C-alpha cells in the first residue's frame, strides 16, 4: 500500500514539479520578449533620428538646389532674345523723292493710326498731298531719333516742304523702321524687353488689382489670397478665381513645366518664397511683365506686354490708352480664350471687369471707368509684323549673316539687323506679280512662277525681293535657288568683249546676221536661229544688240572667242562654272536671278563691281555697332566701253525688243534693259534700269514647261507694272571722259551730217570714230532722236 502510495504519489509529484517549472519558464519567456522589445525600441530611436536627419539634409539640399536654380537664371541671361530684323528707315527731307500714296502704305505698315487728332506718337492725318505725322522715337546705332510732330507737303512725288512742330528743327527726319521679322530660338518665344521705368504706371496697377491684390505685402505666397479664392469658389459653386500670386505665376512660367501635379505645386510654393526673399518686388514684377505669355503668331509665342502691345495694337506700350492696357491685363487669365481677334465679346467682357476693379481700388474714378467701358477694343486688324513678312528676303539675310555669326548668337543675343529692304518698293513688286502673273498664265496644268530682285542702281542695296507668286510663302526661294538658262541676258558679255577692242569694234561696226553651222568637238552641229526664224543680213552692232539678233551675236562671239566672253562674265560678277560651248553666246547656261542681278549691277554702275547686299548694319542688345556693311566698289570694266553698252541697252527699250514697255511707262522715263527668252519659250527674263533702280525678273514654270512667253511679253510686263507705280528719275548715265559722240549713217559705218534722214548720234571711244564721210542723199531734216531727249 505504501508502495502503491509511492507509485501513485510519484506521478502527482512529477505533475506538481512540472507545473511550477512550467509556471517558472513562462515568466522567463515573458521577460525575454520584453527585453527584446525594449531593445528594438532602443534601436529605433537613433534610427528615426538618423532618418529625420537624412530627410532634413535632403530637403535642405533640395531647397538649396532650388535656390541656386532661381538665382542662376534670375541673375544671368533671363531670356534668349531673338535677333530682330528691320527694313530701312524712311528718311524724309526737302527734295526727297516720295510718293504720297506709298507714304501712307508705309505708315499703315508701321501701325500708325489715321486720325485728325495728332496728339500721340504713331498717328498721322492726310489731306491729299499734305501730311501731319507724329513719329515715334527709335534708337539707331548712330543716334536716338526722338518722336517728332511734323507737317509734310509732297509735290510731283518730291517733298517740297518739311516743318517740325515739336522738338526743334531738323533737316532730315527718320521714321522708325518696320520690324520685318526675327531669327528665333527653337522654342520660338519672342518678346520686347522693357525696364520697369519704361512701363506705364497703370499697367502694374491694373495687373495687381485683378491678379494679386496683396502683391506688395505677401512673402511670395498669399494665405489671405488663397482663402479669398476658396471662399469665392465655394460661393460660386465652381472655380472662378485662382489663389496663385504673381510670384507663383512667374515661377510656374519662368522655371517649371506645365505639368499639374502636387509635387510641382510644392516646388512652385517653395521657389516663390525663395524668389520673394532674394529679390525686390519691383524686379520680380518687371520680369513678370516681360515673361507672361499673351498670345500666338503662327509658331511664335508672344511673350511680355511690350511685344503684345505691338501685336494687338500696332503701337508701343507707352502709346496705349487706358482701355487698351486693361485689355492686355485681361488676357493674362487666358490669352487664347480671351483673344480679342477671335473672341471679341469675351475679351470685351473681361476687359470691362478689369476696368471695374480699377475703379473699386480707387485707381480711377467711377466716371472714368464708365467712359472706358464704352470704348471699343481698338485692336489693329492684323499684327504690324510677322515672322514671314518678306520670307524670301529673310532667307537672303540669314544666309548673309551665317557667313559671320553663329546660329546661337542670332537666336539669343538680342541683335538688331538693319537691312536695305524698302517696304514701299517691296509692296509694289509683290502687287505687280500678284496682278500680272495670273493674266499671263494661260495653262491649265503647272502654274507660272516668278522671281524678282530690285536693287539701288549704284549702291547694290536690295530694295525688293520676291521669291515666288505666293509672296508670303516661305518655301522655295527662286531668286537664290532657281537656276535657269538666261538666254539673251548673256549677250551683254559678248558685246562688251567686242567693244573692249575699239580699234576693231564700235557700235557702228557692221555684222553679218546670217545662218551659222558649227561642228562641235563631239561631232554635233550647232545651228542657232533668230527668234523670228529668219536672218537680217548686214546690220550694225547696236542694231544687232537692240533687236537681240542671235545669228549676228553668235558670229560676234566666235570672232572674239569663247574664253574671252567667259572672262567678261567673270568680270561682271558671275561665279558659276560655265562650260566653254558656243551656246554660251546665247545664254544656254543656268544662273539664278540673284547672280544675274550681280552681273547687271556692274553694268548699272558703269563698270564698277558693286556687291549686291541686303544688310547695312548689325548692333547688339546695348545698341552698339557690331558689324557694318559699307558701300564697296571695284573697277572691273572700262567705263568708256560700258557707256557704249548702256547706249545699246537704251536703244533696246526705245526701238528694240523692249519698246512695248512704253505702253505702260511714260515717254519721259528713259530706261535701259535687255530681254531674254530661252528655247521653246521656257524662260522669260528681263533686266531693266532706270535712274534709281536695277531690276531682274524671271517668269517660268518649276517643271521647266513651255510658257509661250518671251522676255518682253512675260517678265518685262511685270517690270513695267512695277515701274509705273514708283517715283523715280530717268536713266541718264554720265558720259565718261574719252567718249565722243558723232553723227553716223545708220546703214553704213561712215560719218554723215546731223540733218541727214538716216543719221544717228552714236558714242565712240575717242579715236575709234569712223573716218569715212558720206553726205546726205536727201536734204530732209532729221527728227530729234530719243537719245537727244535724254540729255535735254
Residues annotated as catalytic (active site), given as ranges: 211, 488
Q: Could you count the other beta carbons within 10 Å of the beta carbon of residue 321? A: 16
DSSP state letters, 720-770: HHHHTTS--PPP-----TTEEEEEEETTSSSB--TT-TTEEEEEEETT-S-
Q: Which of 715, 707, 708 is nearest to 661 (CA)?
A: 715
Cell numbers representing residue 366 in the block: 467711377
State how far the alpha carbon of 89 is from the alpha carbons of 92, 174, 191, in Å.
10, 6, 22
Enumerate long-range contacts of 574-582, CB under 8 Å, 24 or more apart: 574/598, 574/599, 576/483, 581/520, 582/518, 582/520, 582/526, 582/554, 582/557, 582/558
Backbone angles phi, psi at 756, to 5 degrees: -70, 145
State how far the alpha carbon of 549 is from the alpha carbons of 586, 589, 646, 657, 787, in Å.
10, 18, 17, 10, 22
State how far the alpha carbon of 233 is from the alpha carbons of 209, 227, 669, 747, in Å.
18, 10, 74, 98
Cell numbers representing residue 169 in the block: 528743327
Give how far the C-alpha of residue 497 lies from the chain's centroid of Cα atoms, to the nearest Å: 39
Give how far the C-alpha of residue 146 lies from the chain's centroid of Cα atoms, to the nearest Å: 25
User: ∠233-236-242 over CA atoms, to 5°?
Assistant: 25
In 416-455, alpha helices (H): 423-440
Taking the CA atoms of the chain, what radius of gyration do you get in angstroms?
41
Report the DSSP beta bridge partners of residue 416: 84, 619
Cell numbers representing residue 154 in the block: 509732297
Rounded to whole angstroms, the Cα distance separating 172 from 661 reads 35
Amino acid at each position: 500500500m505504501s508502495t502503491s502510495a509511492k507509485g501513485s504519489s510519484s506521478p502527482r509529484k512529477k505533475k506538481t514539479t512540472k507545473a511550477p517549472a512550467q509556471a517558472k519558464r513562462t515568466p522567463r519567456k515573458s521577460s525575454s520578449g520584453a527585453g527584446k522589445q525594449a531593445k528594438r525600441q532602443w534601436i529605433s530611436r537613433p534610427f528615426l533620428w538618423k532618418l529625420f536627419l537624412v530627410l532634413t539634409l535632403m530637403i535642405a539640399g533640395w531647397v538649396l538646389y532650388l535656390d541656386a536654380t532661381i538665382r542662376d537664371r534670375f541673375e544671368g541671361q533671363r531670356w534668349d532674345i531673338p535677333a530682330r530684323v528691320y527694313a530701312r528707315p524712311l528718311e524724309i527731307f526737302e527734295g526727297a523723292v516720295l510718293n504720297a500714296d506709298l507714304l501712307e502704305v508705309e505708315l499703315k505698315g508701321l501701325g500708325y493710326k489715321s486720325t485728325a487728332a495728332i496728339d500721340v506718337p504713331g498717328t498721322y492725318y492726310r489731306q491729299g498731298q499734305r501730311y501731319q505725322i507724329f513719329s515715334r522715337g527709335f534708337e539707331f546705332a548712330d543716334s536716338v531719333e526722338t518722336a517728332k510732330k511734323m507737317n509734310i507737303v509732297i509735290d510731283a512725288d518730291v517733298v517740297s516742304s518739311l516743318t517740325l512742330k515739336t522738338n526743334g528743327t531738323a533737316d532730315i527726319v527718320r521714321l522708325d523702321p518696320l520690324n520685318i521679322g526675327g531669327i528665333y530660338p527653337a522654342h520660338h518665344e519672342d518678346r520686347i524687353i522693357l525696364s520697369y521705368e519704361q512701363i506705364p504706371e497703370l499697367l502694374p496697377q491694373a495687373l495687381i488689382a485683378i491678379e494679386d491684390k496683396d502683391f506688395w505685402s505677401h512673402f511670395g505666397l498669399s494665405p489671405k489670397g488663397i482663402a479669398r479664392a476658396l471662399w469665392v469658389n465655394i460661393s460660386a459653386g465652381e472655380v472662378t478665381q485662382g489663389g496663385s500670386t504673381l510670384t507663383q505665376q512667374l515661377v510656374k512660367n519662368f522655371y517649371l513645366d506645365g505639368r499639374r501635379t502636387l509635387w510641382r505645386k510644392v516646388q512652385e510654393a517653395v521657389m516663390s518664397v525663395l524668389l520673394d526673399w532674394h529679390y525686390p518686388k519691383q524686379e520680380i514684377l518687371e520680369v513678370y511683365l516681360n515673361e507672361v505669355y499673351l498670345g500666338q503668331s503662327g509658331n511664335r509665342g508672344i511673350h511680355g506686354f511690350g511685344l503684345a502691345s505691338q501685336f494687338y495694337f500696332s503701337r508701343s506700350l507707352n502709346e496705349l490708352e487706358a482701355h487698351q492696357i486693361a485689355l492686355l491685363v485681361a488676357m493674362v487669365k487666358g490669352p487664347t480664350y480671351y483673344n480679342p481677334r477671335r473672341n471679341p465679346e469675351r475679351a470685351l467682357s473681361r476687359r470691362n471687369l478689369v476696368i471695374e476693379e480699377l475703379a473699386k481700388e480707387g485707381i480711377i474714378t467711377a466716371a472714368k471707368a464708365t467712359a472706358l467701358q464704352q470704348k471699343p477694343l481698338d485692336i489693329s486688324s492684323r499684327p504690324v509684323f510677322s515672322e514671314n513678312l518678306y520670307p524670301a528676303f529673310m532667307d537672303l539675310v540669314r544666309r548673309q549673316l551665317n557667313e559671320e555669326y553663329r546660329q546661337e548668337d542670332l537666336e539669343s543675343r538680342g541683335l538688331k539687323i538693319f537691312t536695305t529692304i524698302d517696304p514701299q518698293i517691296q509692296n509694289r513688286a509683290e502687287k505687280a506679280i500678284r496682278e500680272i502673273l495670273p493674266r499671263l498664265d494661260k495653262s491649265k496644268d503647272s502654274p507660272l512662277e516668278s522671281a524678282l530682285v530690285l536693287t539701288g542702281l549704284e549702291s547694290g542695296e536690295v530694295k525688293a525681293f520676291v521669291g515666288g507668286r505666293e509672296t508670303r510663302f516661305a518655301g522655295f526661294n527662286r531668286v537664290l535657288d532657281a537656276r535657269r538658262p538666261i538666254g539673251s541676258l548673256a549677250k551683254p558679255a559678248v558685246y562688251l568683249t567686242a567693244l573692249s577692242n575699239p580699234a576693231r569694234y564700235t557700235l557702228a561696226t557692221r555684222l553679218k546676221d546670217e545662218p551659222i553651222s558649227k561642228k562641235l568637238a563631239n561631232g554635233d552641229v550647232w545651228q542657232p536661229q533668230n527668234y523670228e526664224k529668219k536672218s537680217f543680213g548686214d546690220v550694225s552692232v547696236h542694231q544687232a544688240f537692240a533687236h537681240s539678233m542671235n545669228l549676228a551675236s553668235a558670229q560676234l562671239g566666235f570672232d572674239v572667242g569663247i574664253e574671252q566672253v567667259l572672262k567678261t562674265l567673270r568680270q561682271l560678277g558671275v561665279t558659276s562654272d560655265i562650260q566653254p560651248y558656243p551656246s554660251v553666246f546665247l545664254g544656254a547656261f543656268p544662273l539664278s536671278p540673284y547672280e544675274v542681278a550681280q552681273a547687271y549691277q556692274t553694268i548699272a554702275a558703269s563698270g564698277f563691281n558693286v556687291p549686291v547686299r541686303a544688310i547695312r548694319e548689325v548692333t547688339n542688345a546695348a545698341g552698339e555697332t557690331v558689324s557694318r556693311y559699307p558701300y564697296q566698289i571695284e573697277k572691273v570694266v572700262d567705263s568708256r566701253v560700258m557707256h557704249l553698252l548702256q547706249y545699246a541697252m537704251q536703244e533696246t527699250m526705245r526701238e528694240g525688243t523692249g519698246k512695248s514697255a512704253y505702253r505702260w511707262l511714260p515717254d519721259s522715263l528713259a530706261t535701259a534693259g535687255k530681254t531674254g527668252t530661252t528655247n521653246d519659250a521656257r524662260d522669260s527674263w528681263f533686266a531693266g534700269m532706270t535712274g534709281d533702280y536695277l531690276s531682274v525678273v524671271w517668269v517660268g514654270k518649276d517643271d521647266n514647261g513651255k510658257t509661250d512667253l518671251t522676255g518682253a511679253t512675260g517678265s518685262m510686263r511685270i517690270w513695267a507694272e512695277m515701274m509705273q507705280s514708283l517715283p523715280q528719275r530717268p536713266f541718264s548715265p554720265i558720259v565718261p571722259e574719252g567718249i565722243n559722240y558723232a553723227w553716223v549713217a545708220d546703214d553704213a559705218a561712215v560719218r554723215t551730217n546731223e540733218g541727214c534722214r538716216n543719221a544717228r548720234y552714236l558714242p565712240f571711244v575717242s579715236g575709234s570714230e569712223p573716218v569715212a564721210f558720206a553726205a546726205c542723199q536727201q536734204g530732209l531734216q532729221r527728227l530729234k532722236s530719243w537719245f537727244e531727249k535724254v540729255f535735254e
